[in-house]
Amino acid sequence: MWARQCNPYSIRWKPGDYQWYTSSPLTPIAGEVNETYNTPLLTTNTNYFVSLRDTFCESIPVLVTAIISTPPAKPNVTSSISLVGSALTICSTTVLTLTAPAGFSDYYWFDDMGYPFGYSQQITVTASSTYKVQVLDANGCTSEFSDDLTITVVSAPCNNTAPVINTSVLSTTLGQSVTTDLLSLISDADDNLVLSSLTIVQQPQSGAAASINGTNLLIDYNGLSFTGMDVITIRICDEFGECVTQTIEINVIGELEIYNAVSPNNDGKNDFFKIEYIEILEPENTVTIYNRWGSKVFEVKNYSEANAFRGLNQNGKELPSGTYFYKIIFISSGKTKHGFWC
């Protein structure tokens, strides 16, 4: 070690005047005699010491702590227009902004040329390219790149119509599941649907588990005691980021409901013998109607609203008012139900 005295009050130290030490115990690090020391790969905060020395003397070692900072998480970029996966097509007259998370010291936006072109939290997209961002925190740590976002800019005019999801009422029974192909409900005049954007916005209010596989919607009521009308909300987008949501109703049927009144006068009230949900719960059945003297006046298999009893006998003749008895045989279980109305 040597020290050059530049004036009576100043000494300048040169490389070779330092000594770096590891701690616990204090051990000189061979060859590390410069003012900087490149540590090995560290996973935790680590203490080192450094001293100044010459041929005869050495200062008291000073503590230097290498602090390990966690790099920022991969930034999640948000868009002013709904992204369809990692791609979006916009018109040249559309203003599209991409925004990185707040709270970082520096931002580096890259396009598919691989060079940074933007240095703020938010950028406005004007050209077709693949965009990504990298952020730098206050400790000088750099994140990995965000996921690529591919933006295609189409020259104006751009005439695009949002997709349409038609409403529908699905049916299932207590504790069962229901499946439907959502594509049968969706239309798009521009034929630029992005099927991968088909998502569930709001799960069924009943707590049933719903999922989409491709374009098939599955709602599972297994283990639930829920009956009645349930709702689920879905969404789909097109290539221009035009999205639409729609609510679909699900009728979860519990038990057969047999109405005990028939007044076939075409007033829209009790015009036929109504057995609610029989087509779904017990489609294979036989329904027989008897008059008050026990004579059979009507019988039909696989009863439904289409072939329901409307106050006419087997020959289509109107029956008189009075008391009538019914017998319902459920083929699958062999069980029967009896009742009457008057």
Question: Average pLDDT, stretch 88-112?
Answer: 93
Residue 15 pLDDT > 90: no
Pick the CATH number of 257-341 from 2.60.40, 3.30.450, 3.40.50, 1.10.3470: 2.60.40
CATH 2.60.40.10 occupies which residues in the chain? 78-154, 164-253
Looking at every residue in the chain, the average pLDDT score rounds to 90
Gap between the Cα atoms of 192 and 161, Å rounded? 10
According to the model, what pLDDT value does residue 225 have? Answer: 87
pLDDT above 70 as % of the chain: 95
**What dihedral angle (degrees, nearest 10) is formed by the CA atoms of 280, 281, 287, 292?**
-120
Gap between the Cα atoms of 342 and 340, Å rounded? 7
In which element (H, E) is residue 177 found?
strand 177-181
> Could you give the strand order of the β-sheet that contains 87-91, starting from the edge strand earlier in sequence?
87-91, 149-154, 129-136, 106-110, 116-118
Residue 109 pLDDT > 70: yes
Q: How confident is the model at residue 342 (pLDDT cuts 50, 70, 90)?
A: confident
Beta bridge pairs of residue 20: 50
**Is the CATH number 3.30.479.30 carried by domain 78-154?**
no
Residue 26 pLDDT > 80: yes
User: Hey, what are 179's tokens?
Assistant: 């499946």
Q: How confident is the model at residue 4 (pLDDT cuts 50, 70, 90)?
A: very low
According to the model, what pLDDT value does residue 5 have? Answer: 28
- Taking CA atoms, 207 is separated from 182, 225, 265, in Å, by 20, 10, 43
Does this model's pTM top 0.85?
no
Residue 6 pLDDT > 60: no
According to the model, what pLDDT value does residue 27 have? Answer: 95
Q: How confident is the model at residue 2 (pLDDT cuts 50, 70, 90)?
A: very low
Q: What is the pLDDT of residues 188-220, one digit of tens each?
A: 998 888 898 899 999 999 999 999 999 999 999
Q: Is 55 exposed, middle or buried (0-12, 13-18, 19+ CB in 10 A)?
A: exposed
According to the model, what pLDDT value does residue 144 have? Answer: 96
Residue 11 pLDDT > 90: no
According to the model, what pLDDT value does residue 9 have? Answer: 34
Q: What is the pLDDT of residues 251-302, one digit of tens each?
A: 998 888 899 889 988 888 999 999 988 988 889 999 999 999 999 999 999 9
Q: How confident is the model at residue 14 (pLDDT cuts 50, 70, 90)?
A: low
**Is the CATH number 2.60.40.10 carried by domain 164-253?**
yes
Weakest mean pLDDT among 39-43, 210-214, 326-330: 39-43
Question: Average pLDDT, stretch 29-34?
Answer: 93
Question: Average pLDDT, stretch 110-130?
Answer: 94
**Residues 6 or more apart in contact with residue 134 via CB below 8 angstroms:** 75, 107, 108, 110, 142, 143, 144, 145, 146
Q: Which residue has the higher pLDDT, 113 or 211?
A: 211
